[in-house]
Chains A and B, each alone.
Chain A
Amino acid sequence: MIYLIALLTVVTSWWLPWWFVAIWCGLLGILAPSYKKAFIVSFLAVFLSWILVAYYFDLKAQMILSHKMTDVFFMPHPLVLYILTGTVGGLMAGLSAGCGYLLMQIRQAGLKSF
């Protein structure tokens, strides 16, 4: 699942808006066995893929992107910027996947109550 989300993120984000990842994660969250799993898997997938793509562009620019932006945000080290980048994407993904999982729970609770 983690690979699927990462793949969807990396393949579709070039032309779709950045928040579109939330929709993939929401949909895939439906299949998750627990909220925790839905959250963690999506979080990690997007966290890592955002960081990797960011690193690719940073490397191409000889790391000047992360270095300058670290100063802009008064951060102590570029690593913090990477973690922030990953976390922003990861949290969005995790929360969305959680939504998907909880949507499924409503349906299942509905079925049980019949």
Chain B
Amino acid sequence: MRRRALILYNLSLLITLMFIFILANPIGSLPPLGSLLNPFHGFWRNGPMKMPERETLRGLDKTVEVVWDSYRIPHIFALTQRDLFFAQGYVEARDRLFQMDLMTRAGVGRLADLVGPKALETDQFFVKLGFRTIAQRTLDFIKKDPESWEALDAYSQGVNFYIQSLDKKDWPLEYKLLGVGPSAWDPERSVALLNIMSFNLAGRSYDLHLTKHLKAHGLEKVKNLFPEFLPSRADDFVILKNDFEASQKVPTPSDSFVTAFDDFPEFLQPFASNGSNNWAVGPKKSQTGATILANDTHLAYSLPGVWYELQLIAPGINVYGSSFPGAPLVIVGFTQSVGWAVTNGTTDVLDWYEVEFRDEQSLEYLFEEQWHLAERQVETIEVQRGKSVEVEVLWTRSGVVMHREESLGLAAQWVVHEPSNEIKTFLELNKAKNFVDCNQALSFYQAPAQNFICADAKNIGLWHTGLLPKRWSQQGRFVLNGRLDSHQWQGWIPREQNPSVENPPEGFVRSANQRVVDESYPYYLGWDYEESYRGRRIRQALEEKEKWSLEDMIQLQNDELNLHAAEVLPHLLDLVEDQILRLQETDDKTQEGPGSVEMWRSLLKSLQAWDFVDRADSWVSSVFHLWWDEFELAFWEPNLGPREGGLYPKRQRSSILLHNISAFKDHPDHLWIPEGKSLEDLAWDGLVGAWDILTKEFGNFVESPPETWKWGRVQGAGMPHLLGVSGLGEPHYLMGGSQYAVNANRGSHGATWRMIVAFGEGDKDTEGWVNFPGGPSGNPFDPSYEQFTKSWSQGELRKVVFLKEQDGSMSLPAQED
């Protein structure tokens, strides 16, 4: 009897304990249900926070005041700079702690510790690429400038002050879903965040892809398909005049090295179209007689959004704009007297080297006929719940070794490996009083290279800013020889010779990630830039209109004219015309509806009538984009292999090729037409392919195209949650635009921050107009979580509330401009 009771009790206890254990821990992708669902500490406690209009905090030195405006944007008033960044850390953590944690962990390869084994591969990649060492080196470098260090340190203390105030019930929802809590913050985190942005913007390299093409097709063909300069229009470049001599010449070595590697592992690459638009019209071209500045930064859409809008006010600083949550200061913004706008410089600053080791295991590598010892570090990656993995990081003169095969290594040399202090640049920009201050702030800036526009009421200027390696012509296009000193970077392009332009005669400056300079620039900057279509359109618009207003600028940011389509569609239509005629001859007159000659004719008519604008409600736009994709694939796949993980020529090159083949019978480009096909076949097959995709995936064409064929639906635009949790993102926004249009919406990427600054003159204040997808709060339950997304998707901007020093309740001295 007693034994039976004992067994029953033990059994029941075991089941109960097991049940509680399961509830307390995440199982597979399932969150820890007990901690998550209980109404005392679980997600039920994550309701929106009530924001007071004004709030005072105890800062590190004195009291800090935060004023929340009607858009729930914080304006921080502090009496010292230290307090200002302390409060920024506190306020950003309160709104975005999880996002900050996630992003900064990525930058030092510590994601797996938070989100589990699925992030291990990413962590391994970043650790191998030297991210932990870079963060440490950068931090040591920043410490040499006490003011920059103070900003980082105060920000970090602010974040920690918030973290320490948290009870388990206050953890952001994502922590509760993962069953892990936040850990203490340190200044290294902010540095890691800036480094991950450097990877997103300057981590792309096609050297390995090109090397594969080189081995398969030879140098001439590769140069032909992937030219350094496309025969573009003369005004396609960011900076049009570079009439000076290089102060330091770079000799080209006489050897022609081809790596022994036949294939390469596929390394993580940032999204190819991370980019931006910026432009400014000077007083002569502005309706108000004062400069107007515009910027839209193209990054991945996410909820919460990548930017955090705020105003920072302290003695000597009054700046409005957006920051990267996780790092102090305003990254893109303006003061009452000066503003700055950025686009990715896109110049290639990552080169690959073949390194010869003594043997498979050895740490000794050959350099200038001598064996040198590689610097070896062993880093540990913690994976959630106890496991850990070790990663070896090897540094050579040719950079960090990413892959080893027998006695050979493949090393990456990257500008971001150089210690730098971008905090100093942003600190100086945030404090800038005029155009000269703004320009001077850029002299500290190293990576990722950006096209910075500085503007005040009277002046505009654009600098291709950043540390640029000095290379011989075409150096780094293919894998380089790590054994030779002559294959190493030859120092840096002197700062004063970085491409730049100030107050040009045309009255405007602009950039859109396209090639920065033409052949007249005396240094080699690489070949891989964004296509010129966006930049061309911006230039065209700026040239056409004499006087610009704020509304015109907003309109241009939303411009959806696709100049790529304008360039290639007439050719494609010519190519399929004959096919339609042939169909007509063999047409079965009884056939109607899909597939009939009548249907193809009407489709062609719609394509002919299309104005090349990628509107959200245009179904013709969908047909064009899919048609081009299908055509391009059919054309290049037989020549260059699969698109996925491969590299095809730029669209601009393909469009020139299309023109060459159509116009000239003997043009050498004919050799690229896949065997047994004609260009007409490829164009027709592409169109039929596009039709099939639309029909299969987006519904049948019955008399007219269905709603689902609209470009806004086919390309779509969605804001996924940072962890990809469905229900916390917003999957569908009906938006136009494309990668070729100024409104560079690409479904998953696009303008994550839009800003226009109309400078005031005399009594008139400077006005800032902004918008971004998402909202201030990172809490999915907060009404402000995605409060701006709808208006942003409709292309609207809102006038910001720019507070003055005296708007705070503390007595801050007024700014002297």
Chain A bound to chain B: yes
Interface residue ranges, A against B (CB under 8 Å): 13-14, 17-19, 22, 50-51, 53-54, 56-58, 60-61, 64-65, 68-74, 84-85, 88-89, 91-92, 95-96, 98-99, 102-103, 105-106, 108-110, 112-113
Min C-beta distance of A97 to chain B, whole Å: 9
Does B780 touch A at the CB level, under 8 Å? yes
Instruction: Evaluate contact between A72 and B39: CB separation under 8 angstroms.
Output: no
Min C-beta distance of B192 to chain A, whole Å: 29
Does B47 touch A at the CB level, under 8 Å? yes
B146-187 with Cβ < 8 A to chain A: none
5 smallest CB-CB distances across A and B, nearest first, come from A71-B727, A61-B47, A18-B38, A72-B727, A54-B39
Does B267 touch A at the CB level, under 8 Å? no
Does B668 touch A at the CB level, under 8 Å? no
Tell me, in angstroms, the Cα distance from A105 to B10 when the chains sit together. Answer: 12
Contact of B20 among A22, A60, A110 (CB under 8 A): A22
Min C-beta distance of A82 to chain B, whole Å: 10
Instruction: Evaluate contact between B47 and A89: CB separation under 8 angstroms.
Output: no
Interface residues on B, range: 35 or more
Tell me, in angstroms, the Cα distance from A51 to B44 when the chains sit together. Answer: 10
Instruction: Evaluate contact between B780 and A68: CB separation under 8 angstroms.
Output: yes
Nearest chain B residue, comparing its CB with the CB of A81: B37
Instruction: Evaluate contact between A95 and B15: CB separation under 8 angstroms.
Output: yes
Q: Which residues of B contact A113 (CB under 8 A)?
A: 1-2
Q: Which residues of A contact B15 (CB under 8 A)?
A: 95
Does B659 touch A at the CB level, under 8 Å? no
Contact of B16 among A22, A56, A73 (CB under 8 A): A22
Instruction: Evaluate contact between A65 and B44: CB separation under 8 angstroms.
Output: yes
Tell me, in angstroms, the Cα distance from A58 to B33 when the chains sit together. Answer: 18
Given A54-B44, A74-B726, A88-B34: A109 in contact with B781 (beta carbons within 8 A): no
Q: Which residues of B contact A51 (CB under 8 A)?
A: 39
Q: Which residues of B contact A60 (CB under 8 A)?
A: 47
Does B448 touch A at the CB level, under 8 Å? no
Instruction: Evaluate contact between A95 and B728: CB separation under 8 angstroms.
Output: no
Tell me, in angstroms, the Cα distance from A102 to B10 when the chains sit together. Answer: 9
1/0 per residue, CB under 8 A from A, across B5-49: the answer is 110110011011001100110000000011101111111111110
Does B725 touch A at the CB level, under 8 Å? yes
Tell me, in angstroms, the Cα distance from A57 to B35 when the chains sit together. Answer: 16
Given A98-B16, A102-B5, A106-B9, 8 more pairs with CB closer than 8 A: A18-B34, A57-B45, A68-B780, A73-B727, A84-B33, A89-B37, A95-B12, A105-B8
Tell me, in angstroms, the Cα distance from A70 to B42 when the chains sit together. Answer: 15
Instruction: Evaluate contact between A106 and B38: CB separation under 8 angstroms.
Output: no
Nearest chain B residue, comparing its CB with the CB of A25: B16
Instruction: Evaluate contact between B23 and A88: CB separation under 8 angstroms.
Output: yes
Tell me, in angstroms, the Cα distance from A89 to B780 when the chains sit together. Answer: 25
Instruction: Evaluate contact between B16 and A96: CB separation under 8 angstroms.
Output: yes
Contact of A110 among B2, B16, B33, B728 (CB under 8 A): B2
Instruction: Evaluate contact between B33 and A65: CB separation under 8 angstroms.
Output: no
Tell me, in angstroms, the Cα distance from A27 to B241 when the chains sit together. Answer: 85
Can you report 24 residue pairs joining A to B where beta carbons are below 8 Å apart?
Answer: A13-B38, A19-B23, A19-B34, A51-B39, A53-B40, A54-B44, A57-B44, A57-B47, A61-B48, A70-B727, A72-B725, A72-B727, A92-B16, A92-B20, A95-B15, A95-B19, A96-B16, A103-B9, A105-B9, A106-B9, A108-B5, A109-B4, A110-B2, A112-B1
